A = this chain, B = another copy of it.
Amino acid sequence: MLGVTILGNNSALPAFDRHPTSQLVTLEDQLFLVDCGEGTQVQLARYKIRWGRINHIFISHLHGDHYFGLPGFVHTMGLLNRENDLHLYAPAPLKEILDLQFLAAGSTLPFTLHFHPLEGEGELVRTEKCRISCFPTMHRVPCWGFLFEQVRPLRKVNIDKARIHNVPAVFFDRLKKGEDFINGSGTRIPNAVVTDPVPKPKSYAFCADTMYDETLAEKLTGVDMIYHETTYLKDLNERAAARFHSTTEQAALIAKAANTKRLLIGHFSSKYDKLDQFEQEARSFFPDTDLALEGVTYYI
């Protein structure tokens, strides 16, 4: 299972009941929070999300609309006596800001907060079922996107057929990796006889704030769903470039070049009170586009 719930889809400031950036990624049985604009804890409550299960938070960059809700959210976790460790992946300077805030409040957390400063490109989290990595995007300050991927064994053991061919359970892990089994009498049982193919692992990329950057498409080729910011409609591409942001057309071009199945667009400028044109414009270039609407979960 891979899905993303939008908690905030506006840029810069809250307006028109749209909130600054935050997304909740559900990957298998885990919840991951991506960015945490002011009011994220209220949005989590509004959509009845059991956020106690969030153990990893990712902050793309240190513009306020992407993290000003984090200190309050972490503070609330402490007040409600969270015990589990919390992992925070963020640009390095956030550590000192949080430390000063805790110092000023004379408070400590009842749980361990692990701060992982973002650097370059690479894997952040790896479990049996998922992999999360970061990649830099082109913005006015250091900024990272995040790629969420299911991890699947190559094959699934067909228990009945494995029994028929006397494959011992201890060999199942090797079957999953695609190996053939050679039994006691030297007969080779081809892997495909005792295993079934598994569904292709799914993937989602959150591209944070970024100006138009074709290398993103190369990096994300084949990703099932891409979230790309569209701060502006296409007529404002000069303003978008000047502010290191993107337009509908640019987001759609990235989606097309990356050969993704579905494009989510968001981070709408507060100069727009309605969003219809964002949808229309982006779909004219890439039909499988959806607006990232708050409270909605987009499954892959």
Interface of A toward B, CB cutoff 8 Å: 12-15, 20, 38-39, 41-42, 45, 62-65, 68-69, 71-72, 75-76, 79, 91, 93-94, 96-97, 100-101, 103-107, 140-141
Contact = CB atoms under 8 A, between A and B. Distances in A.
Given A14-B45, A68-B68, A104 B39 contact: no
A97 B94 contact: no
Given A64-B101, A104-B97, A41 B69 contact: no
B13 A75 contact: yes
Contacts of A93: 100, 103-104
Contact of A42 (B39, B65, B96, B106): B39
9 contacts: A13-B76, A38-B42, A62-B105, A65-B72, A68-B71, A93-B100, A93-B103, A97-B97, A105-B141
A18 to B, nearest CB: 11
A104 B94 contact: yes
A91 B104 CA distance: 9
Contacts of A75: 13, 64-65, 68
Copies held by the complex: 2
A107 to B, nearest CB: 8
A134 B222 CA distance: 61
Nearest to A141: B106
A96 B101 contact: no
B41 A141 contact: no
Nearest to A140: B106
A203 B65 CA distance: 37
Given A13-B72, A100-B100, 6 more contacts: A20-B72, A38-B72, A68-B71, A68-B72, A94-B104, A106-B140
B13 A41 contact: yes
